[in-house]
Amino acid sequence: PRPVRLADYRPPAYLINRIELDFCLDPQRTIVASRLSVQKAPGTPAGAPLVLDGEKIELLSVALDGAPLPKDRYALDEKSLTLFDPPESFALAIRTACAPAANTALSGLYISNDMFCTQCEAEGFRRITYFLDRPDVLAKYAVRIEADQARYPVLLSNGNSVESGMLPEGRHFVRWEDPHPKPSYLFALVGGDLAAVEDSFITRSGRKVALKIFVQPQNADKCAYTLDCLKRAMRWDEETFGREYDLDIFMIVAVDHFNFGAMENKGLNIFNSAYVLASPETATDTDYEAIESIVAHEYFHNWSGNRVTCRDWFQLCLKEGFTVFRDQEFSADMRSRAVQRIKDVRRLWSQQFPEDAGPLAHPPRPETYITIDNFYTATVYEKGAEIVRMVKTLLRHEKFRSACDLYFERHDGEAATVEDFVRAMEDGGGIDLRQFRRWYSDAGTPRVSVREHIAPSGAYALELAQKTDPTPGQSEKPPRHIPIAYALYGAESGRRLAEGVLEFKEETGHFDLGKFDERPIASLLTGFSAPVRLERSLSLDDRLFLAARDDDLFNRWAATEALWRDLCLAFAGAKEMESREAALSRFEEALFAAMGEADRDPALAAELLRCPSEADLARNVEIIEPTAIVRGRTYVREAVGAALKDRLLALYERLRPNRPFQPTAEQAGERALKNAALALLVAAGETSLALEQAKSANNMTDEAAATATLATSSGPERREALDRFYARWKADALVVNKWLAWNAMRPEPDGAQGDSSLDHVRRLTGHEAFDRRNPNKARSLLGVFARENLAGFHRLDGAGYRFFVDEILSIDALNPQLAARLIAALDNWRRLEPHRRAQAERELRRLANAKGISPNLYEMAARLLA
Ligand code: HT7
Ligand code: ZN
């Protein structure tokens, strides 16, 4: 396949300002009639060919200005329909057929549980009809949908419904018109037997907007929270960014088969049902939190993505990075800001940092791709959001808001670029971001090393040095503009002595921070002010000081997390640590003290008690020795659990009473703390507590937490807990996905006794609960196994890799996007110890050479092996 390059971008040769679409829905053969108003773009030579994108559709007819087009006036191939010598301005009528029921790729028009739905981002619209399927062609859409009335009573598309009626033979139709010009990736259509849960919202200018959530009828009682999130997001965007909704109706539809979390189609968001449906019995606090942030994310796209869209797919982080930043800020305002920041950074560290350090590293604004679907990555989303956050830090709050206003006003109704965004930030904020632009163009995470100087006079200075390792295709890494927020504390008094933001722009920098009477202890990168790796050697005393006393709660957590990590790695033999046993007992005391915070901020206390996962630890070593990491982590958790047992038990008992469940941040924090205490108690052998909780819980958060801890323990209760859970929930597919994920995390048996986790997972691929066609299920079982089960997946004999690659090949034949995303789990293969590394490489090469694999998977395999 030929790569697409940013440098080759050319504006479209033709514009399409209006499209009328007529769908005759049938699962086997849907007929799509389209009428396009086409105009030659200024600057295009007369008679230049018009090349329309189209894929996996059958062309039935094509007519120009009402007359069938002779065969010699057009050419057709697998990917396009080319018209030769078209006039300057004309109407083009095209009829095509597609097969939604056979569309297992879930891109274009497909069927999920007898419901028609579409997914057009990034390039799915071309699987529906021939079109200029690129984000810089904005057209007004008028859509007519016709279907069997009894089977598909609800027919939806973007905008406002303008007409509906019955037709002969039990069929009916609905017409929709969207007044806002939009790119084809924002088109959506839904047809099915759906229940609507309704509400309304009055905008700040007094317009009434109808809100409707469409779900399968049996799920109608699980939408209240989603509706509440939507209303809060709408109000927040008015208050925080001055953005008002712009149609009379906003719809969300839940589907079970979906390649992603959700999709921001104009006025008709389509969601993975996992991010819509929630009830206390079936959804955990984490599920509620995810729903809140995804509902907000998709809604915020209405401005950052839809009103101002992207010129081309290289600009993806323009809409995604900015929108993630907006949803993170929303969640921070709805919940604890500090805990939100901790969770966001945890995600960045676990997903984006490894991506940036491995073979899949790419800039937030890539310069080349084979399949754009492979670039919906943590770098585009999460690092994209960090870049916007740094801009805000550099501009300060008020100027950032006015710069955002300027951006939206300047580019409303346009397809913009990252450059347009940065220019609006510069013009609105009155600063120079020339060097800062490197964050968009350069891949890799800068490493910032720190040396401290204290002069006999008490003058304190920091020496900083930055370095970014080469990444694929980029060997030179000039220095970046890095905002480093800091605070200094007096080692004796604990008082805050100074604080500020350093703008670090050179390879090395010297910063005088003042003269002090007592030794300062520096808290650096407060609030994680830049996505860099800080390299600093601090004494255990100073680390414990920051873990206990830093006013910046993010850094207080970061100091604690780093101690957890270093101790696990020290006991795994993967890191040097002086007197590790003594360090462990001092850490236990510090955690004991941190639990004193439990009353003030239980959610924060829960984060402090959480030991990094096996996968987190593996990311922090140069050579991965899976079994040693599992051993080190088990030892430390067991030791901490045992040392703090009485305190943990007291805490657990205090938080145990089952209050009537409310999905509030406050209650969620208390449950998180109780369950963090439970996890450590189970690590120390108190398994019966967990089984009791699993049986008596009145909500899914507590039931899931208890079952999950048992599922990842080696105790005899594991089997009982998992069997019980499945028997209770087997009719609820979303709940069963949790069960699949816990099974994928099953520890390896001690000694030669029992099934290996690989055998267990392999057996589950034939279980009634598993289905390769459903991305949620594939991710829960196979994705979790490969990413989270260190010892089970990375077996010495390479059988884990063999199994995984076989599964990926089967999935690729059904759904290339899903297969390509799953294989990214192997992005750490070069860091495995030599024996495992050789096995993983052999399997990746087998994958890359397999006959008939999709371009999506081929691109990923080639990048992983490059
Ligand atoms: N903008 C949406 C991206 C998306 C997507 C991308 C590739 C394949 C399937 C997809 N479904 C949705 C989601 C978002 O960021 O809001
Ligand atoms: Zn998005």
pLDDT for 787-840, tens place per residue? 999 999 999 999 999 999 999 999 999 999 999 999 999 999 999 999 999 999
- Name the residue type at position 536: R
In Å, the largest CA–CA distance within the chain is 94
Q: What's 480's DSSP letter?
A: -
Question: What's the gap in Å between 804 CA and the centre of ligand 1?
Answer: 25
CB atoms within 10 A of CB 290: 17
User: Is 765 in contact with 807 (CB distance < 8 Å)?
Assistant: yes
Q: Taking all residues of the chain, what is their mean pLDDT, rounded to a whole number? A: 97
Residue 271 beta carbon below 6 angstroms from any ligand 1 atom: no
Q: Is the pLDDT of residue 721 over 70?
A: yes
Query: Could you tell me the two tokens for 490?
Result: 């007096």
Q: Which residues, at least 6 apart from 822, have a Cβ–Cβ distance to it below 8 Å?
A: 778, 779, 782, 783, 786, 807, 808, 811
User: Is 568 in contact with 612 (CB distance < 8 Å)?
Assistant: yes
Q: Is the ipTM of this complex over 0.90?
A: yes
CA–CA separation, 860 and 850 (whole Å): 13
Q: How far apart are the first and last CA of the chain?
A: 16
Residue 543 vs residues 314, 405, 408, 617, 620: alpha-carbon distances, Å: 41, 42, 44, 19, 18
Residue reference for tokens 């490493």: 447
CA–CA separation, 158 and 246 (whole Å): 12
**Domain ranges, ordered by start, for the chain:** 1-193, 730-866
Residue reference for tokens 């679409």: 21
Closest ligand 1 atom to Cα of 373? 7
Report the Cα 188 to chain-centroid distance in Å: 21
Question: What's the gap in Å between 262 CA and the centre of ligand 2?
Answer: 8
Tell the CATH superfamily of the 730-866 domain. Peptidase M1, alanyl aminopeptidase, C-terminal domain (1.25.50.10)
Question: Which ligand minimizes its atom distance to the CA of 322?
Answer: 2
Neighbours of ion ligand 2 (CB under 5 A): 320, 323
Residue 119 beta carbon below 6 angstroms from any ligand 1 atom: yes
Category of 632 on φ-ψ map: left (φ > 0), alpha (ψ -120 to 50) or beta: alpha
Whether the bond into 41 is cis, omega within 30 of 0: no
Q: Is the pLDDT of residue 380 over 70?
A: yes
Q: Is the pLDDT of residue 595 over 90?
A: no
Which of these, 440, 433, 312, 436, lies nearest to 365 by C-alpha position? 440
175 has which bridge partners?
144, 163
In the three-class reduction of DSSP (H, G, I as helix; E, B as strand; rest coil), residue 69 is classed as coil
CA–CA separation, 400 and 425 (whole Å): 7
Q: Is the pLDDT of residue 856 over 90?
A: yes
Lowest mean pLDDT among 382-386, 594-598, 699-703: 594-598
CA–CA separation, 445 and 71 (whole Å): 54
Closest ligand 1 atom to Cα of 260? 11
Tell the CATH superfamily of the 1-193 domain. tricorn interacting facor f3 domain (2.60.40.1730)
Closest ligand 1 atom to Cα of 305? 1
CA–CA separation, 695 and 725 (whole Å): 9
Q: What's 304's DSSP letter?
A: B
Say what the pLDDT of residue 752 is. 63
Residue 263 beta carbon below 6 angstroms from any ligand 1 atom: yes
In the three-class reduction of DSSP (H, G, I as helix; E, B as strand; rest coil), residue 128 is classed as coil
Q: Is the pLDDT of residue 116 over 80?
A: yes
Residue 330 beta carbon below 6 angstroms from any ligand 1 atom: no
- The secondary structure of 32-51 as a DSSP string is EEEEEEEEEPTTPPTTPPEE
For 92, the enclosing helix (H) or strand (E) is strand 89-98
Which is catalytic among the residues 298, 386, 843, 859?
298
CA–CA separation, 618 and 813 (whole Å): 31
Residue 821 beta carbon below 6 angstroms from any ligand 1 atom: no
Sheet holding 459-467, edge to edge: 508-515, 459-467, 447-454, 533-535
Handedness of CA 210, 213, 219, 222 (dihedral sign): negative
Kindly indicate the confidence band of residue 659, based on its pLDDT and cuts at 50, 70 and 90: confident
SS3 of the chain: helix, strand, coil, percent, to 5: 45, 25, 30
pLDDT digits (tens, 9 = 90+) for 16-63: 999 999 999 999 999 999 999 999 999 999 999 999 999 999 999 999
Residue 121 beta carbon below 6 angstroms from any ligand 1 atom: yes
Closest ligand 1 atom to Cα of 259? 9
Question: What's the gap in Å between 105 CA and the centre of ligand 1?
Answer: 14
Say what the pLDDT of residue 584 is. 98
Mean pLDDT of 732-751: 95
List the residue whose alpha carbon is closest to atom 12 of ligand 1.
Answer: 263
Q: Is the pLDDT of residue 546 over 80?
A: yes
> Which of 133, 313, 324, 376 has most ligand 1 atoms within 8 Å of its beta carbon, as the pocket-test mutant?
376
Residue reference for tokens 């046993």: 581
Say what the pLDDT of residue 555 is. 97
Is 298 one of the catalytic residues? yes
- Helices assigned H by DSSP within 656-768: 665-683, 687-696, 700-711, 717-729, 733-744, 757-764
- Name the residue type at position 385: A
Which of these, 730, 726, 728, 731, lies nearest to 711 by C-alpha position? 726
Sheet holding 30-40, edge to edge: 67-68, 58-64, 89-98, 30-40, 14-24, 139-148, 171-182, 160-167
